[in-house]
Amino acid sequence: MATEGFAPAKINLTLHVTGRRADGYHLLDSLVVFADVGDRVWLDPEAPPGLRVVGPFAGSVPAGDDNLVMRAASLMGRLESGLVLEKNLPPASGIGGGSSDAAAVLRLLPGEAPAPDAVLRLGADVPVCLMRRNIRMSGIGETLEPVEDLPPLWSVLANPGVEVPTPSVFRALARRDNPAMPRPLPNFGSAAELIGWASTMRNDLEEPAVALAPVIAEVIDSLRAQPRCQLARMSGSGATCFGLYADAESAAAAEAALRAARPEWWVRAARLGLS
């Protein structure tokens, strides 16, 4: 019987670039939450070995050994397993799709969990996706501090259908030694308090990403223009952006309006915060 794993979208509510190591890796400080939309992975012991990719974005994902799903299976010593990936999230879009897929495989396959450094070598976002909860992520992605009692948020995710290579975004950064978030983080008694605080923080990759793909600014403006939007920002290195709304009804209305206005965009209402 096939077993299923969920690979939720990762959203960087904040993303501060605080430095760069001698080996070229950038240091980050980010408040990460996860959405109730994402990809799905199945382990089918009766299927032939390898990976089969289905779903709306299947054509954008290679099914060979370089796929993060297969690399995660190799790390678990289970390349003989039959895996199916339902690709619902746009690829290379700043919401951790491939990393979340790999993390789902690590959770799904039986066996001893790999060492943290081996997980990190799969990708900087794989460790946080493996934890799949509200997290303050720092360093190059290896330092993970759970954030308790974070209120859930209602959002709309929107991607204009352009891929923004992460290395190009980092190369376009004007400054790499920006201030970190405060320590400790405040206690947030409500979604309004969390959103108000997040609006004083940053995504330091947003400006260079917009310079490379100006349509990102259009996505942010479109989200912000929806009634009751309280914050609009880019996630990760782009090009997916999110708007935060007062309640589920406002997010659903914004999703419907954006889908009607920009049918070529990928747009999804989502609840953020799966802890």
**pLDDT tens, 157-193?**
999 999 899 999 999 999 999 999 999 999 999 999 9
Tell me the helix, strand and coil percentages in the chain, rounded to 5. Answer: 30, 30, 40
For residues 236, 237, 238, 241, the Cα torsion angle rounded to the nearest 10 degrees is 30
- The residues that are catalytic are 10, 125
The mean pLDDT value for 153-160 works out to: 98
Per residue in 128-140, pLDDT (tens digit) is: 999 999 999 999 9
Count CA atoms within 13 Å of residue 270 on its CB side.
Answer: 24
pLDDT of 203 > 90? The answer is yes
Pairwise pLDDT comparison (67 vs 157), residue with the higher score: 157
For residue 1, the model assigns a pLDDT of: 58
Q: Yes or no: say if 164 and 238 are a contact pair by the CB < 8 Å rule.
A: yes
For residue 62, the model assigns a pLDDT of: 82
The mean pLDDT value for 67-71 works out to: 93
Per-residue confidence band for 153, with pLDDT thresholds at 50, 70 and 90: very high
For residue 228, the model assigns a pLDDT of: 95
For residues 16, 18, 21, 26, the Cα torsion angle rounded to the nearest 10 degrees is 10
N- to C-terminal Cα distance for the chain?
A: 28
The mean pLDDT value for 91-102 works out to: 95
pLDDT of 213 > 90? The answer is yes
Average pLDDT across the chain, whole number: 94
For residue 110, the model assigns a pLDDT of: 86
In the chain the domains, ranked by start, together with CATH numbers, are 3-146 (3.30.230.10), 153-272 (3.30.70.890)
Per-residue confidence band for 229, with pLDDT thresholds at 50, 70 and 90: very high
Among residues 194, 238, 231, which one has the least CA distance to residue 216? 238
Q: Yes or no: say if 20 and 176 are a contact pair by the CB < 8 Å rule.
A: yes
CA distance 39 to 37: 7
- Collapsed DSSP state (helix, strand, coil) of residue 58: helix
pTM: 0.96
